[in-house]
Structure 1
Amino acid sequence: MSSIATSVTRAEGFHAPGPGDFNLPPIGPDKTFEFLGQEMYLGVTKPMLQLVLVAGIVFVFFWAASRKRAMVPSRLQYVGEQGYGFVRNSMGRDIIGSKDFLPYVPYLFALFFFILINNLLASVPFFQFPTFSRAGLVYALALISWLVYIGVGIKKHGFLSWLNLMCVPSGVSKAMYPLLIPLEFMSNILVRPVTLALRLFCNMFAGHMLLILFALGGEYLIVEMSAAYAPVGIIAWLLFIIISFLEILIQFLQAYVFVLLNAMYIQGSLADEH
């Protein structure tokens, strides 16, 4: 009976990870204030620094790769060209179309590598935090994509014509317009930035949560619990390693999907028919 009580007591000592683990404290001095009953703070946090760092890394790397271009490329130039060609061809030309894609390649290119490197920081020692597991950062990125999507269509078609293309489906009886037009408006204009952001945010958040759970849970079972729990703790650590490799694939795929959807939205906004 006493051994059961001891096990229960030890189990109660483990604090499971939750959303609070993603609210990192500010670095340096901060100023707190209350907003809607919640304590908020103004200050620089780790995700903010990672955003600035990644922007610098992407700029410096591709600047260095293109600075001394040659017919026979160096290794750095070759890597830079392959990265540019991947975005240009698979997400620019193949999705938007060979006629219209070139003006949007710089945006898609910068967006892809900015998201990719930020995602990969979750698997890099010392950083080990996915920047876009913070919803506010993802929605800011989705807002930029939404403004580009709308701006592209308005620039080509004009506001009213673009709105008509987005909201009025062709080949449908006018009697269905009262039902379909609000749905098309919601789907094509209002919901897209939300779903775009949620997809990236939820994958980064959930993946990092799993890693925290298996890492800390395995440590607790091995160190704090009795020896009988050690095999379970070792299994938890093995799952942590497996999921870490799976996360690298997911980090790449989420960057790819985010930019691919951006290209699809741009293509749809440029199209003459909906």
Structure 2
Amino acid sequence: MCRHLAYVGPPEPLGRLLVEPAHSLYRQSWEPRRQRYGTVNADGFGVGWYADGDPMPARYRRAGPVWADLSFADLTRVVRSGAVLAAVRDATVPSADGEAAAAPFAAGPWLFSHNGAVKGWPGSLAPLAQNLPAVDLLSLEARNDSALVWELVLARLRGGDSMGQALADAVPEIAAAAPESRLNLLLTDGVTIAATAWGDTLWYLARPGHSVVVASEPYDDDSRWQEVPDRTLLSAGRTDVLLTPLKEPNDTPAPAPSKEPRS
């Protein structure tokens, strides 16, 4: 599977978020503490970030393990950003797509990551793929399940859905087509974060009015980390975190969202 993390808040060196913590995403590439599927995330990695005044994020991605990239430490030491999305990858099936298969995927102002696996890939999602324009399918960055999941989410974003709505609608639809899939999705536009917990772990660390981190697992032992319940949509910014139960496939509408207390 994968481990991923998103941050919005005051500009920080990337290394302070991704490398320096005791159980950082960097370390999770070989020693995750809460990963339920797979043991080592060595099949690629990536980080996307936003520069002041530019709504379009930059990305740095590679096909191999993050610990083998000697440039990564230099990059994360000097680059600062107030919005970051990063991931380390454990491939579900072999692929020749190289770094193109590594998150974050990007389009316009958005960065996206998928922690999980689509059951029965690729055949299970063929009916959903048929609803996408041919040009979008031919433009997929990679031939893996995460790239197609991203395209299904992106179609909703381009249609005018908010980030949270796009994830909340896409996940039950994908789960109905491919039962038993794991669909922890992470999305940011550089200002807010939307994420789903669906089959794997998801946590957040909120500092009121300051910053929020959303991650597959805590990168340190700060007692303020909160676990997101399974089958939940998270929407977060600097000021609040909103948790909304997700609909099960073919289920009735979900209950109204609840705002989590900030401590």
Task: Give TM-score, length-normalised by structure 2.
Answer: 0.27
More helix by share: 1
Higher Rg of the two aligned structures: 1
Q: Which has the higher strand share?
A: 2
TM-score for both structures, normalised by structure 1? 0.26
Higher RCO (CA < 8 A, seq sep 6+): 1
